[in-house]
Amino acid sequence: MKKLFIFLGCAILIAYSSCTPTSKINQTQTGIDSYGKAKLFTAAYQQKAAEYRALCYQAYNIAQWQLENLLKNRSSKPAAIMTDIDETVLDNSPYQVHQSLLGKDFDNATWHEWTARADADTVPGALHFFQYAASLGVEIFYVTNRDMAEKQATLDNLKRYGFPYADNAHLKLKSTTSSKIPRRDSIMMTHQLIMQVGDNLNDLNGGFEKKNIEQRFELANQLKNEFGTSLIVIPNPSYGEWENAMFNYKFNLTPAQKDSVLQSILRSY
């Protein structure tokens, strides 16, 4: 077993070095440290791990199985599903790789350049599930924190693959707030919201917003019976509210500072 751990450790180090070619990276940039390399590694998992693909299929298979049961309790309102887009419907890992190779993290300008390409691939299982839901008469609302300026490119990307209800009426972008509570409430005024899908727990329940790690754990425990029924979670190891909570919502930390935080909060022995 000890030899196995040594082998795995060496393999990870080799993988990190192979993911960060020195011809593309200025090693003196603050972004290329262990935190920047970790971002590359999570993108590698999203792009190259069959396990990631299997988890996505598993989530959407469960969603499909549950959908028929949920439709048995239909109200007079039309049935609807509310879904996030990024890392739930569309795969943006190429953007993560691009930024990491430049020693950078997320920023609005480069993100808008990426989404303008309308070139994101689909998350495994997403297209089949939403097309199936639409075939049962369920409307799909895409509730995303993309900006209004990204509207047409987002629609183009969804239409490129044939996602149902990819239109102005069913695309709810961020306007005045990143909270999805007002947009969720507006959908519920006219529709019976039977299922929500997202990679971020904020997508599914507003109670997770701006909460610390312990509070998020507590609420997840309270909702445990709803996950896999009306709440479907898609894996996203690269970013999300879980990451923001670790850094106490301090968005201006340097990669070195983030490394320090991680070393102080992660459990070892």
| Tens-level pLDDT at each residue, the chain (269 residues) | 444 333 334 433 334 344 433 334 343 344 446 777 888 999 999 999 999 999 999 999 999 999 999 999 989 999 999 999 999 999 999 999 999 999 888 999 999 999 999 999 999 999 999 999 999 999 999 999 999 999 999 999 999 999 999 999 999 999 989 999 999 999 999 999 999 999 999 999 999 999 999 999 999 999 999 999 999 999 999 999 999 999 999 999 988 899 899 999 999 99
At 37 the pLDDT is 85
Half-sphere exposure of residue 4, counting CA atoms within 13 Å on the CB side?
Answer: 1
Amino acid identity of residue 251, one-letter, is: F
Q: What DSSP designation does 86 have? A: B
At 13 the pLDDT is 37
At 33 the pLDDT is 62
Tokens linked to 161: 């693959």
At 109 the pLDDT is 97
At 38 the pLDDT is 87
At 6 the pLDDT is 37
- pTM (2 decimals)? 0.87
Cα distance between residue 201 and residue 183, in whole Å: 16
**How many Å is the Cα radius of gyration of the chain?**
20
At 9 the pLDDT is 41
